[in-house]
Structure 1
Amino acid sequence: MKKIGFLSFGHWSPDPGSATRSAADTLLQSIDLAQAAEDLGADGAYFRVHHFARQLASPFPLLAAVGAKTSRIEIGTGVIDMRYENPFYMAEDAGAADLISGGRLQLGISRGSPEQVIEGWRHFGYAPAEGQGDADMGREHGRIFFELLKGEGFAQPNPYPMFPNPPGLLRIEPHSEGLRDRIWWGSGSNATAIWAAEMGMNLQSSTLKDDETGEPFHVQQAKQIQAYRAAWAAAGHERTPRVSVSRSIFALVDDRDRAYFGRGVQSRDSVGQLDETTRAIFGRSYAAEPDRLVAELAKDEAIAAADTLLLTVPNQLGVDYNAHVIEAILTHVAPALGWR
């Protein structure tokens, strides 16, 4: 059994062919798609975070709105770039959104990905400490945020406060019990997956990672998951961790599917430079008739190893079509693979 959700990058553009012409379109349709996915029986609604781009960026207003409009589905991110975040303010926002949703947040956080602008985090008021890089800063912000979610007091109370304080040191409020167990680290390498395990975070692994062995993407990703779980066991954490992978998967069940994805999808892994120093491997997409799709997906070692699968959706094609994409996987593919 697997949990199956969708992951939306939340693109918008004024192009006549886009169903999301503005940021308002994307935000409101994201809420609608989460509701539709819940009605279909999907398990999660996840959203990407990209700054300085015509994509979803500030997650907590959206997560709170989705939480207020749904009742069952998990609500998450994949991922929040921690280089841009104040961990203290983020702990307040996350606690509030989680309480609104009734404890359904699944927050993916990470050091982030290549950006639209040069060192965009500097415009948000952040800079690495001397001798460190932006990745170090992102991990440190993530560590502080994760620590704050313990709900332990750390701030000295004012002896003359406006309102009465509880005894002892004060913590970030509102605090949502259990949210800390629902934090995921988006990892692009084996080393950061091991770091996440040692910290006690769940693991998110997307459709790209560092090319560390030259093997096919799904094999490298499966080995990353194996290294993560081994490190988790060695750390002695009490709970069982969760692991998600993302994939672009389209079951071709009608003429619309064949027109959009019947040809031209990336049917093989690709390798390229993610930045000046990092060689990355990008996982293939899947688009085929259901029987063939089932046979192809059965060979994906990383999907087999994960407990959660996030389906990347083409949000600019509109809510109705994206709901159809999700329903086709839940109906024609997941049962045949034993996922449901």
Structure 2
Amino acid sequence: MKKIGFLSFGHWSDHPSYKTRTAADTLLQSIDLAVAAEQLGLDGAYFRVHHFAAQLASPFPLLSAIGAKTNKIEIGTGVIDMRYENPLYMVEDAGAADLISGGRLQLGISRGSPEQVIEGWRHFGYEPAEGETDADMGRKKALEFLDKLKGIGFAQPNPYPMFPNPPGLLRLEPHSVGLRDRIWWGAASNATAVWAAENGMHLQSSTLKFDEGGKPFHVQQAEQIRAFKEAWRKAGHQHKPRVSVSRSIFALVTDDDRYYFGGQGKTADSFGYIERDQRAVFGKSYAAEPDKLIDELANDEAIQEADTLLLTIPNTLGVDYNVHVLSSILEHVAPGLGWRED
């Protein structure tokens, strides 16, 4: 059995074939899709965060709205770029969103991905300290975020406050108990997966990772997951580790499915470069009739290693079609792989 969720990039554009013409369309449809996904029995609603793009960016208003309109589904990100964040303000935002949802937040964070603009985090007022890279800055901010989520007082109270203070040092409010143990790290390499485990963060691994040996994508990703699990075991954390992998999976059961995705099933991974000279491997998409999908996915080693599968969705096609995409996986594919009962 696996937890199954969706991952939306949240695109919009004034394009005649899009159901999401504006940012408002995307935001409101994201809420509606999360509500519908919960009714389907899906386990998670996750959203990408990209700055300077016609995509979802500030996640906490959206996560809070979804939390207020749902009851069970996990709500998360995949991922928040920590280079752009004020960790203390983020603690307050995350605490509020988690309390609104009743403790269902599953926050994916990372040092970030290739950007739309050059060093966009500088426009937000941040820059690495001397001798640091922007990746160093992102990881340092992540550790501060994790530390302040513990809810331990650290700030000296004003002797003449506006409101009476409790005794001792003050913490950030609102504090949500347990949120610290529901933070995930989006890792592109084996080393950062190990670092995440050592720091008590769950692992998110997407449809690409740095190429570390030339093996097929799913094999390299499975090795990354096993390295993460071993590092978690050695660290001796008390809570159970979780691992999610993202996949583009489309069951071709209608003529619309075949029209949209019939030619998108890749037969092999692809290799390329991101961030100048960093070689990466990109996982293939899966698009086929349900029986064939079951056979193909059964051989994906990384999916077998993960407890959570995030299905990337074509959000621009609208809520109704995406409900169909997700329900097709639940009905026609998941039972055949043991992810759901018949």
- Fold match by TM threshold 0.5: yes
After superposition, the C-alpha distances for 1:121-153 in whole angstroms (9 at most, x for unaligned) are 000000001011000000011110011111000
- The answer to which of 142-151 and 263-272 deviates more is 263-272
Residue type of the partner of 1:237?
A: H
Amino acid at match of 2:286: Y
If the length of structure 2 is used for normalisation, what is the TM-score? Answer: 0.99
Asked whether 1:158 is paired with 2:126, we answer no
The residue that corresponds to 1:35 in the other structure is 35
Structure 2, unpaired ranges of 5+: none
Give the aligned residue type for 1:6.
F
Match of 2:331 in 1: 331
Q: Secondary structure at the match of 1:75?
A: strand
What is the CA distance between 1:8 and its match in structure 2? 0.0
Any idea what SS the aligned residue of 1:107 has?
Answer: strand
2: CA distance, partners of 1:44 / 1:239: 20
Q: Which runs of 5+ in 1 are unaligned?
A: none
Q: Classify the secondary structure of the residue corresponding to 1:144.
A: helix
Q: Which residue in the other structure is 2:270 paired with?
A: 270
Q: Is the Cα–Cα contact under 8 Å of residues 83 and 121 in structure 2 kept in the other structure?
A: yes
Worse-matched range after superposition: 255-264 or 66-75: 255-264
Q: Is the CA contact 2:264–2:285 (under 8 Å) kept in the aligned structure 1?
A: no
Partner of 2:257: 257
Task: Describe the shift of the 1:249–1:264 C-alpha distance in structure 2 as closer, same or farther (beyond 3 A).
Answer: closer
Q: CA RMSD in A?
A: 0.6
Give 1:71's aligned residue. Answer: 71
CA distance in 2, matches of 1:231, 1:85: 27
Do the aligned residues in 1 keep the contact of 2:4 with 2:42 (CA within 8 Å)?
Answer: yes
Q: Do the aligned partners of 2:264 and 2:286 also contact (CA within 8 Å) in 1?
A: no
User: Where does residue 5 of structure 2 map in the other structure?
Assistant: 5
Letter in 1 for 2:262: G
Q: Does 1:25 align with 2:18?
A: no
Aligned length: 340
| Residue 139 of structure 1: aligned partner | 139
Q: Could you list the runs of 4 or more consecutive aligned residues of structure 1 that deviate by over 3 angstroms after TM superposition?
A: 264-267
- SS of 1:157's partner is coil
Tell me how far 1:263 sits from its aligned partner: 1.0
Matched, 1:188 2:220: no
User: What's the TM-score once normalised by structure 1's chain length?
Assistant: 0.99
8 Å contact kept, 2:264–2:287: no
Q: Tell me what 1:117 maps to.
A: 117
Q: Deviations over 1:222-277 (max 9, x none)?
A: 00000000001111111211000000000011111011011134332111011112
Verify: 1:238 aligned to 2:249, yes or no.
no
- Aligned position for 2:210: 210
Per the alignment, residue 296 of structure 1 pairs with 296
> Which residue of the partner structure matches residue 91 of structure 2?
91
- The AA in structure 2 aligned to 1:96 is A
* Aligned match of 1:51: 51
Q: Which whole-Å deviations, capped at 9, do the CAs of 1:146-186 have from their partners, x for residues lacking one?
A: 11111000000000000011110000100000001100000
